[in-house]
């Protein structure tokens, strides 16, 4: 069996997490929406989490899961006869990069329809962490998916938060086949959106479109409630669409992406509806909080939920 990527500090010693176990639940997550402050440390492809401080901890970050997390549901109800989850597997580790330009926009990419996991979702560049440092893994994924390689000493970075991810994301879609803890890293480039845009060369096997979001649109997306089917009314101040670039026949062409697409929630039944992933909404909210702390500006809690006791 491959080495465990996600470990929890339980009973004073690190323990691997079984595939079917809820990481948030093991760390004491209650019935509320969260997030839950979590102490974490990392080294070469491994993440150690604890609900209390420990020697070697690198940060204290908000840990969150969606309200419809299948592992939380499996913890709370008897498993139907005949249902089987993978055995001999742990929880995988992923990293996603919120790339911020010098003019304070962030990059999102749309996953292709042909991918087995989370097709047609808008997400930041990211993927599995190998035996490497988390920042190195994030920069590698950024380069592989977008073609952007950031010059050394021309960017800064800070960990934003942790997300417990399952696919399929709801039990109504079927039993989960993938289980990850995603670490969102904010990477702040000294280059402008225009400079970064000039170097983008998306990998067409993984990316079908990309766009840059400013704070106003990101706030509307972050505020969209997942876990409810109640339609959301668009603010009159929001543009009807956002400019994106779509890949077609080996070239990128402009795409007017409807704002309503970005505000969609996760459907109850399995389908590859284009939308922003729930974890990405969480990360965008954390990015807005970071911008607010840097500028001293007030962040509307209706637009970016407060990450309690966060200390990256």
User: What pLDDT, in 10s, does the model give residues 188-210?
Assistant: 999 999 999 999 999 999 999 99
Least confident of 141-150, 169-178, 230-239: 230-239
Tokens found for residue 166: 């399952």
pLDDT at residue 297 in the model: 57
CATH of the domain at 259: 3.90.79.10
3-state DSSP percent of the chain in helix, strand and coil, to 5: 20, 35, 45
Question: In the structure, what pLDDT confidence band is assigned to residue 226 with cuts at 50, 70 and 90?
Answer: low
- Residue in 60, 96, 18 with CA at minimum distance from that of residue 278: 96
pLDDT at residue 309 in the model: 35
User: What pLDDT, in 10s, does the model give residues 72-86?
Assistant: 988 777 666 666 787
pLDDT at residue 2 in the model: 60
The answer to whether residue 303 is domain-embedded is no
Task: Specify whether the CB–CB gap between 87 and 75 falls below 8 A.
Answer: no
pLDDT at residue 79 in the model: 66
pLDDT at residue 310 in the model: 38
The answer to whether residue 305 is domain-embedded is no
Once rounded to an integer, what is the mean pLDDT over residues 222-227?
78
Residue 154 makes CB contacts below 8 A (sequence gap 6+) with 189, 190, 191
The answer to whether residue 157 is domain-embedded is yes
pLDDT at residue 112 in the model: 96
Q: Check residues 28 and 155 and name the one with the higher pLDDT.
A: 155
CA distances, 149 to each of 20, 69, 90 (Å): 36, 34, 31
Q: Check residues 60 and 227 and name the one with the higher pLDDT.
A: 60
The answer to whether residue 311 is domain-embedded is no
Alpha-helix runs per DSSP H in 77-200: 134-146, 193-197
Residue 15, domain extent: 5-74+87-264+273-294
**Strands 121-123 and 36-43, how do they pair?**
unpaired
pLDDT at 45 over 70: yes
Least confident of 134-143, 232-241, 292-301: 292-301
pLDDT at residue 302 in the model: 40
pLDDT at 10 over 90: no
User: What pLDDT, in 10s, does the model give residues 102-147?
Assistant: 999 999 999 999 999 999 999 999 999 888 899 999 999 999 999 9
The answer to whether residue 242 is domain-embedded is yes
Give me the chain's average pLDDT, please: 88
Tokens found for residue 312: 């990256």
pLDDT at residue 250 in the model: 79
Question: In the structure, what pLDDT confidence band is assigned to residue 96 with cuts at 50, 70 and 90?
Answer: very high
pLDDT at 87 over 90: no
Once rounded to an integer, what is the mean pLDDT over residues 152-175?
94
Least confident of 48-52, 71-75, 100-104, 186-190: 71-75
The answer to whether residue 310 is domain-embedded is no
Once rounded to an integer, what is the mean pLDDT over residues 42-70?
93
Beta partners for 183?
95, 162
CA distances, 221 to each of 24, 209, 253, 284 (Å): 24, 18, 24, 8
The answer to whether residue 107 is domain-embedded is yes
pLDDT at 311 over 70: no
Strand positions, DSSP E, the chain: 6-10, 13-16, 36-43, 46-50, 59-64, 92-100, 106-111, 121-123, 126-128, 155-167, 178-189, 207-213, 241-248, 251-258, 275-276
Number of domains in the chain: 1
The answer to whether residue 32 is domain-embedded is yes
């Amino acid at each position: 069996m491959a080495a465990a990527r996600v470990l929890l500090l339980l009973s004073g010693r690190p323990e691997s997490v079984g595939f079917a176990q809820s990481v948030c639940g093991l760390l004491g997550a209650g019935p509320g929406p969260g997030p839950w402050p979590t102490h974490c440390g990392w080294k070469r492809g491994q993440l150690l989490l604890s609900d209390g401080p420990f020697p070697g901890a690198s940060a204290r970050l908000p840990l969150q899961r969606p309200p419809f997390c299948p592992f939380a549901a499996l913890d709370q109800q008897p498993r139907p006869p005949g249902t089987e989850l993978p055995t001999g597997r742990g929880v995988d580790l992923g990293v996603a990069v919120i790339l911020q330009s010098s003019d304070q926009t962030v990059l999102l990419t749309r996953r292709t329809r042909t991918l087995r996991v989370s097709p047609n979702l808008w997400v930041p560049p990211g993927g599995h962490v190998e035996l490497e440092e988390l920042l190195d893994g994030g920069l590698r994924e950024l380069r592989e998916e977008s073609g952007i390689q950031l010059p050394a000493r021309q960017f800064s970075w800070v960990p934003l938060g942790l997300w417990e991810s399952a696919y399929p994301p709801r039990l109504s879609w079927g039993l989960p086949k993938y289980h990850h803890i995603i670490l969102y890293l904010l990477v702040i480039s000294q280059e402008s959106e225009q400079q970064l845009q000039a170097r983008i060369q998306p990998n067409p096997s993984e990316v079908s479109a990309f766009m840059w979001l400013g704070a106003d649109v990101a706030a509307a997306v972050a505020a969209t409630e997942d876990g409810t089917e109640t339609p959301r009314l668009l603010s009159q101040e929001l543009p009807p669409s956002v400019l994106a670039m779509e890949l077609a026949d080996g070239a990128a062409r402009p795409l007017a992406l409807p704002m309503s697409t970005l505000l969609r929630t996760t459907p109850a039944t399995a389908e590859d509806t284009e939308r922003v992933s729930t974890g990405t909404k969480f990360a965008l909210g954390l990015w807005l909080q970071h911008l607010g702390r840097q500028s001293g500006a007030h962040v509307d809690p209706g637009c970016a939920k407060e990450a309690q006791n966060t200390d990256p």
